[in-house]
DNA sequence: TAGGAATATCGAGAAAACCCGATATATATT
DNA sequence: AATATATATCGGGTTTTCTCGATATTCCTA
């Protein structure tokens, strides 16, 4: 886990928002029903995209950045990719900052 | 405190190192004696500069960035500026990340 | 008050990040 | 197999960051 890369990933308003939205999907995506029928896999790119106002390619890229540093997990089901927070990693980051920063 | 700006400040190897060095100045600057006679004010720019291998202007700028977002405090005494960590702010950041991220 | 030392600021070239539109890929449906 | 949908990747113009050398400012001392 490269600290610098993690902070770079977090140093962006859009990505920070996405991370926040994924914290409580039912709040931020009220009408959301995962096409696979199981909301526990996360939220698909399209929903995040429509809420963000950014283009599809940008959102896809941003989510990939968050995944690359381990802050979110991706699950591909059918033609959808569902993203959810990696709470373990995020908690670990909090610890890391509290202790080693 | 703008979260994005804080993460930007942290998204750099040099600045992260400086923050770490300032955590235990006596360890990282063994022969260091503050010219003002009081080590508790922090470490001066020149010492940090020599340890970092970066140029004087870069180090001055980096420390200013860290100060701008509140992670360090600066104290000017005579011709020296001493920098020290703002532990309160850093701890608050840890909390922020642990809770709102 | 002139010179020296420490730090800050300025200007700029190079590199990286931002963010888009266009296109490619993967999957599902008919 | 052809089409449609969701997502990923590519290419690139624009903005920001990085990092430096040069210069300015501040403060001390002779």
Check whether A31 has a pLDDT greater than 80. no
> The dihedral of CA A5, A10, A13, A16: what is its sign?
positive
pLDDT in tens, B48-98: 999 999 999 999 999 999 999 999 999 999 999 999 999 999 998 888 888
- What residue of A is the nearest CA neighbor of B101? A20
Helices in chain A by DSSP H: which ranges?
3-10, 13-21, 25-28, 45-52, 56-68, 87-100
**Spatial separation of the C-alpha atoms in residues B55 and B74, rounded to whole Å:** 19
Query: Is pLDDT of A39 > 80?
Result: no
Is pLDDT at B41 greater than 90 in this prediction?
A: yes
Better pLDDT: B53 or A1: B53
* pLDDT at residue A94 in the model: 87
How many angstroms separate the CA of residue A8 from the nearest CA in chain B? 5
- Looking at the partner chain, which of B4, B98, B101 has a beta carbon nearest the beta carbon of A11? B4
| A76: β partners | A81
Question: In the beta sheet, which residues pair with residue B81?
Answer: B76
In chain A, the largest separation of any two C-alpha atoms, in whole Å, equals 41
């Amino acid at each position: 886990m490269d600290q610098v890369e993690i902070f770079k990933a977090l140093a962006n308003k859009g990505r920070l928002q996405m991370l926040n939205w994924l914290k409580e999907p039912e709040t931020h995506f009220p009408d959301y029903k995962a096409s696979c029928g199981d909301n526990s896999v996360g939220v698909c790119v399209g929903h995040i995209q429509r809420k963000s106002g950014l283009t599809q390619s940008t959102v896809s890229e941003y989510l990939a950045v968050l995944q690359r540093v381990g802050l979110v997990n991706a699950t591909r089901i059918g033609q959808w990719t569902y993203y959810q927070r990696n709470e373990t990693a995020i908690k670990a980051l909090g610890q890391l900052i509290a202790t080693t920063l």
